A and B are shown apart, each in its own frame.
Chain A
Amino acid sequence: MGGLSLLSLVYVALSYAAAAIFVGGLMRKLWGYAVTPNPLCIPTTPSPATKGGVVARLALNIVAFADLFKGNRWTWIGGYAFHVILIAVTVRHLRLFIYPVPPLLAEIQPLALLIAMLLPLPLVYLLARRKMVDRYAWISSPADYGVLILILLIALSGLGLKFVSHSDLVGIKHFLLGLLMFSPVDMPAHPAFIIHLTLVLMLAVYFPYSKLVHAGGVFFSPTRMMVDDPRERRHINPWAAK
């Protein structure tokens, strides 16, 4: 670590701290969900009566946001578009974390770019939805706007790096690989990259304490995860059974 510039030293420390908070915080949250007692059989009826049925519904919920689709089409369009585009954004970034880059991953970059650059659109749409529909504005908290704005800023700074102020991509990948391999090297002192990285670290730190934990929470919702078979099988409260 001797030869690092002050800027790099600060950001290496911040990166590791953010990663620790992200992973540790998320594990703690999910652990809490996992060990929370589940004394009653409370699936929202009608629900699938078999375990396979519940898994199938959960799968459809994860790949297509089926519940949201049935609940509110307008919210679904924005939310689903956002998450699909996020996959393309992940593909665009994966090449900076993997060495060597698999040929297929390199091959699909131009296609992924076309999709990934749309990221601000659903975010602006979702922001407008919150602000302009009275009943959503009424129930929206600063945190709801906050995550949207934070992710929008990340998207804009990322697009800025690509289209406005291009940076030393090879230097960035070298820095990221250095972090991954626990042998940090200097980061490119490029303003747009520093802004982008700072915002991403902020998101990583905030993630476990935000509503974004729905990414893991979806697996722990009793009303959606329990099998609807209270007549066929008696539900016994786990701690009462002892």
Chain B
Amino acid sequence: MKRPAATAAALLALLAAPLFYAGCGNAKAPAPQLTKPTNATECVEPAATMRANHMNLLRHERDNIVREGDRSRKYRIEGCAQCHTKRAEFCDRCHDYAGVKPECFDCHYLP
């Protein structure tokens, strides 16, 4: 190793790169801003459950409806749309934030 100090500096810079990318203490951590519905104050389940598990609720419903024709279930994506009317101001905000691309909207048209 010819120049250990220079190599060490380069390695440190590489390790610190995410910090510079993130803005390093200049600002607060960004969080998605959601437009909340005005026609209701509570979702079908508590907010914490919805935050963590809405995809599981909807996925199970999808299997029941598409494969078994069972439409008697509680959760439907059409139900979501009754309160969360603007996908771009609700669904997309968190999905974009976390780099998630749900396939719901491949079929379901939610403006």
Contact = CB atoms under 8 A, between A and B. Distances in A.
**A, B in one complex:** yes
Contacts of A34: 1, 4, 7-8
Contacts of A110: 101
Interface string B15-38: 100110111111111111000000
Interface string B23-65: 1111111111000000000000000100111011000000000
B98 A169 contact: yes
Given A30-B8, A99-B22, A169 B27 contact: no
Contacts of A101: 96-99
Interface in A139-193: 166-171, 173-175, 177-178, 180-183, 185, 190
A188 to B, nearest CB: 8
B15 A166 contact: no
- Label chain B's interface by main secondary structure: helix
B29 to A, nearest CB: 4
Contact of B23 (A35, A109, A181): A181
Interface residues of B, number: 34
B21 A31 contact: no
A34 B97 CA distance: 41
A177 B56 contact: no
B29 A174 contact: yes
B80 interface: no
B99 A105 contact: yes
Nearest to A98: B21
B71 to A, nearest CB: 25
A100 interface: yes
B100 interface: yes
Contact of B22 (A27, A106, A180, A190): A180
A140 B54 CA distance: 46
A97 interface: yes
Task: Say which size band chain A's interface belongs to.
Answer: 35 or more
A232 interface: no
A95 B98 contact: yes
B94 interface: yes
A48 to B, nearest CB: 18
Contacts of A105: 99
A27 B12 contact: yes
A168 B1 CA distance: 46
A107 interface: yes
B25 A170 contact: no
A55 interface: no
A213 interface: no
Interface of B: 1, 4, 7-8, 11-12, 15, 18-19, 21-32, 48, 51-53, 55-56, 94, 96-101
Given A166-B52, A166-B55, A170-B32, 8 more contacts: A23-B15, A30-B8, A34-B8, A101-B96, A110-B101, A174-B29, A178-B29, A182-B24
